[in-house]
Amino acid sequence: MSAIRAVSGRALPLRGDDIDTDRIIPARFLVAVTFEGLGEHAFEDDRAALSGAHAFDRPEFRGASILLVNRNFGCGSSREHAPQALQRRGIRAIVGESFSEIFAGNALVLGLPCVTASYEVVEKLQSLAEAQPDIAFTLDLESETVTAGDLTASVALKGATRDALLAGTWDSTGALLARFDEVRAVAAKLPYVGGFQASTGR
Amino acid sequence: MGATLFRKIWDAHAVRTLPNGQTQLFVGLHLVHEVTSPQAFEMLRARGLGVAFPDRTVATVDHIVPTLSQARPFADAAADEMLARLSRSCAEHGIRLFDLGDERQGIVHVIGPELGLTQPGMTIACGDSHTSTHGAFGAVAFGIGTSQVRDVLASQCLALDPLKVRRIDLTGRLAPGVAAKDVILALLARLGVTGGNGFAYEYGGEAVDAMSMDERMTLCNMSIEGGARVGYVNPDETTFAYLSGRPFAPQGEAFERAVAWWKTLASDGDAVYDDRITLDASSLEPVVTWGINPGQSVPVSGHVPHETDADGPERASLSEALAYMGLDGGERIEGTRIDVAFIGSCTNGRLSDLREAAKIAKGRKVSPHVRALVVPGSVAVKTAAEHEGLDVIFRDAGFEWRNAGCSMCLAMNPDRLNGREVCASSSNRNFPGRQGSPTGRTLLMSPAMVAAAAVAGEVVDVRRLL
Ligand code: SF4
């Protein structure tokens, strides 16, 4: 894993609150044993309903890597398939008013930063991307800013998330296994782990 | 100064502070199902890792199983492969699996409690957002993603940030015909679908004290729909009585010791909460969702809102929901015609839910234009319901009586909506496309309300059918 300090690219504005993971990747595409190929099905039903007018289908946003969303993005099911699908479609960072916690956590373990900004800032960024789809955006995680053209706006992300991305340590498995003796010690003290036997109970 | 149950359990399970500032938390019970685990097992394989605590890990199959014929191989080869993968992975790692054909199989959030696997004081994780259900027992239960499933398999731990705790006091008693489902829908309408972000919800008060475990599970199940990843009820005599004698609960003297420990875990009387709200449960009536998120609901006597009832960004959400549902705004919710009725899911697929629905179905007939399904949450629920003759009541009324599974709660098995059908559903999500048709429409309500709608062919106040 290498550190992620900044993400640069064109932006893709996707308006709407409460865009849930069923919409990001409909459940029927979860009947599979790998995440491969999920990218092409991202927003499949929403895109079909808009027959070509969905932001993910519009030619001017093709190849964009920074997704601009509104409130409560990624709510609903805990499926990691949702950030997987977006990442496999070329999304490298998401800027939004707010995210569901499970979604943001799932995205982080993939090294896909979800940063938050105020309604006004998101609105400005979305309007800018719509008006000038070719303009380059840069999300700088270190200074917690987004810049595009003349516009510089502040965004926020949790300290722990920021540190993990900057240090390239967002994959948690290694850290969780580092001091396994301590895990065993905590387990041994929990009365239920020992089956509430007299010797282990309180 | 007292502590909350959340804090006590968190502290007992905290291993250490990780370099990134998060807490490494030991997971007491890891529940696994076929959909969110195959990639996790694959990641383990790729890294040459094993399962750290296979005896604290339990698997079952629920999301993709057909509820009509369950003969293998399934018509859907990919679905069959998922089941085969899970049983291979479980065999390889020594994980207990309640597979199809096992009398303990069922929706993961239904079988954990009914087998006594779910117990107070535990931390519980599962690759499914409705893991909050298990909080009904005074456990701290998290829904997690696939990479976290990998983490728990490999280390029996999660890297997490602590949550704040919001105490929700439900005063008074529920009126006849008003169910736990109505309480949580009313709470979601009040607190919003993002109101719980960063919080664990602690439910208490007279109405909760009086609830059965099944009802408490319904309440905790939908915490996640409000953004709260964790919901719980402090353990009490109702909890202990439910667990006594369950196959995986401690037995004999060990049970007595367990109860003694469990009693120490409940939030202290002087516990300090980050937020506190009160809802008068006695004032509630049955609730029905009209929109495309579970917070968009009205009491059954109410009217769908007008687009002009909100402004700013709220207005856009409101008009999107009205357009998707094909509503003008302002119409009475009662009288909304339905095409499908679904009783089941981890929210309302337990025995008491089926009993409440059967009371309404008994001696009545499903409206001729309605397709109605009853899908027990587990094999054990199905067997118990048949023992009581509930299957006969439902069949006589014109409901289909199916095998256990997630069924029409989501579109991962053959049970789906077609086209723009409107479904009265006892499940938990009314998102666009959730029930399998990209244009299908879902009205969430209690199981008794679904039965009433099935009979009437339209949304109706169940209290008139009691
Ligand atoms: S019943 Fe529905 S919500 Fe519950 S676990 Fe199954 S699919 Fe998920």
DSSP string of B89-111? HHHHHT-EEE-TT-TT-B-HHHH
- The nearest alpha carbon in chain B to A46 belongs to B438
Contact criterion met (CB below 8 Å) for B397 and B122: no
CA B367 to mean position of chain CA atoms? 28
Give yes or no: residues A141 and A202 share one domain.
Answer: no
CA of A66 to the centre of ligand 1 (A): 32
Report in angstroms the alpha-carbon separations of B275 from B163, B198, B242: 12, 12, 30
Same domain for A79 and A141?
yes
**Would you state the structure tokens that stand for residue B161, as one six-digit string?**
């940030």
What range defines the domain where residue A175 resides? 171-202
The Cα–Cα gap between B118 and B235 comes to 12
Same domain, A159 and A199: no
Only one residue has tokens 């993961």, namely B108
Instruction: Give the SS3 label for residue B337.
Output: strand
pLDDT value at B310 more than 90: no
Other CB atoms within a 10 A radius of the CB of residue B94 amount to 11
Name the residue of B218, B406, B413 whose CB sits within 8 Å of the most ligand 1 atoms, as the mutation to test its pocket: B406
Helix A101-109 / helix A81-88 crossing angle, nearest 10 deg: 50
Q: What is the ipTM of this complex?
A: 0.93
Tokens for B298, please give them.
């009205």
Helix B351-361 / helix B213-221 crossing angle, nearest 10 deg: 100
* Per-residue confidence band for B314, with pLDDT thresholds at 50, 70 and 90: confident
Provide, as residue numbers in chain A, all residues whose Cβ is less than 8 Å from the Cβ of B148.
105-106, 109, 172
B16 pairs with which residues across the strands?
A: B24
Query: Which chain A residue has the Cα nearest residue B23?
Result: A176
Mean pLDDT of B309-324: 89
Ligand 1 pocket check for B110: Cβ under 6 Å: no
Chain A: give the shortest CA distance to residue B13, in Å: 7
List the single best residue of B11, B17, B23, B26 to mutate versus A (max A Cβ within 10 A).
B26
Q: What does residue A153 show for φ and ψ, rounded to 5 degrees?
A: -130, 150
Q: Over 60: is that where the pLDDT of A200 sits?
A: no
How high is the pLDDT of residue A60?
Answer: 96
B400 contacts B414 by C-beta, under 8 angstroms: no
Q: Are residues A187 and A89 in the same domain?
A: no
What is the pLDDT confidence band of residue A1, given thresholds at 50, 70 and 90? low
Query: Is any ligand 1 atom within 6 A of the Cβ of residue B62?
Result: yes
Q: Is B396 exposed, middle or buried (0-12, 13-18, 19+ CB in 10 A)?
A: middle
- Encode pLDDT of B80-102 as tens digits: 999 999 999 999 999 999 999 99
Residue A113 lies in a domain: yes
**B179 and B446 in contact (C-beta within 8 Å)?**
yes
Nearest chain A residue to B127, by CA: A78
In whole angstroms, how far apart are CA B159 and each of A114, B92, B125, B141, B233? 17, 26, 12, 14, 24
| Closest CA relative to residue B32, chosen from B116, B98, B79, B104 | B98
Is A22 within 8 Å of B129 when comparing Cβ atoms?
no
Within this chain, do residues A150 and A53 fall inside the same structural domain, yes or no?
yes
Pocket of ligand 1 contains residue B225 by CB under 6 Å: no
Q: Chain A residue closest to B51 (CA)?
A: A177
The reply to whether ligand 1 has any atom less than 6 angstroms from the CB of B61 is no
Looking at the fold, whether A104 and A161 belong to one and the same domain comes out as yes
Q: For residues B213 and B204, give the distance between their C-alpha atoms in angstroms, rounded to a whole number.
A: 13
B404, with CB counted inside 10 A (0-12, 13-18, 19+), is: buried
| Residue A140 domain flag | yes
Ramachandran angles phi, psi of B118, nearest 5°: -75, 120
Q: Express each pLDDT in A82-118 by its tens digit.
A: 999 999 999 999 999 999 999 999 999 899 999 999 9
Q: Residue B82 corresponds to which tokens in the numbers above?
A: 């998922």
Q: How many domains does chain A have?
A: 2
Confidence band for B311, pLDDT divided at 50, 70 and 90: confident
Of the candidates B194, B253, B252, B261, which has an alpha carbon nearest to the alpha carbon of residue B224?
Answer: B194
Q: Is B356 in the pocket of ligand 1 (CB under 6 A)?
A: no
Q: What is the pLDDT of residues B197-225, one digit of tens each?
A: 999 999 999 999 999 999 999 999 999 99
- Domains of chain B and CATH, by start: 5-160 (3.30.499.10), 164-283 (3.40.1060.10), 287-464 (3.30.499.10)
Shortest-distance Cα residue to atom 4 of ligand 1: B346
End-to-end, the C-alpha distance of chain B in Å comes to 47
CATH number at residue A53: 3.20.19.10
Nearest CA-CA partner of B461 in B178, B118, B149, B165 = B178
The predicted model scores a pTM of 0.94
In the predicted model, what is the mean pLDDT of chain B? 96
Average pLDDT over residues B244-252: 97
Task: Indicate whether A132 and A193 sit together in one domain.
Answer: no
Residue A64 sits in the same domain as residue A26: yes
Q: How many Cα atoms within 13 Å fall on the side-chain side of residue A150?
A: 0
Asked if residue A146 and residue A193 are part of one domain, the reply reads no
**Mean pLDDT over residues B404-426, rounded?**
95
Q: Which pair of tokens denotes residue B381?
A: 């629920």
Query: In whole numbers, what is the pLDDT of chain A averaged over residues?
Result: 93
B400 phi and psi angles, rounded to 5 deg: -85, 140
In angstroms, the CA B255 to CA B262 distance is 10
Residues A112, A194, single domain; the answer is no
Amino acid residing at B451: A
Amino acid at B399: F
Measure the CA–CA gap between B101 and B26, rounded to whole angstroms: 32
User: Which tokens go with B247?
Assistant: 């196959």
Is the Cβ–Cβ distance between B181 and B445 less than 8 Å? yes
Residues A132 and A189 placed together within one structural domain of the fold: no
Ligand 1 centroid–CA B346 distance in Å is: 6
DSSP type of residue B244: T
Question: What's the start-to-end Cα distance of chain A, in Å?
Answer: 44
Q: How far is CA B334 from the centre of its chain?
A: 25
At B229, the pLDDT band (50, 70, 90 cuts) reads: very high
Cα separation, B27 vs B257, whole angstroms: 21
What mean pLDDT is predicted for residues A158-168?
86
Could you tell me the CA-to-CA distances from B28 to A89, A112, A126, B54 in Å, in that order?
36, 29, 44, 11
- The answer to the question of residue A124 being in a domain is yes
Distance from CA of A135 to the nearest CA of B (A): 26
Q: What is the pLDDT of residue A164?
A: 85
Q: Which of B44, B257, B259 best tests the A interface by mutation, with the highest count of A CBs <10 A? A: B257
What are the strands, taking DSSP E only, across A44-170?
A: 66-68, 93-96, 114-116, 137-140, 145-148, 151-154
Section A139-167 average pLDDT: 92
Q: Do A75 and B85 touch (CB under 8 A)?
A: no
Same domain flag for A187 and A150: no
Does residue A152 form part of some domain? yes
Amino acid identity at B63: H
Which of B130, B373, B375, B413, when mutated, tests ligand 1's pocket best, judged by the most ligand atoms within 8 Å of its CB? B130
Query: What are B162-185's pLDDT values in tens digits?
Result: 999 999 999 999 999 999 999 999
Residue whose tokens read 């015609």: B337
Q: Which tokens sit at B13?
A: 């399970």
Within-domain flag for A146 = yes
Give residue B354's pLDDT band: very low, low, confident or very high (50, 70, 90). Answer: very high
Nearest to B161 among A160, A195, A202 (CB): A160
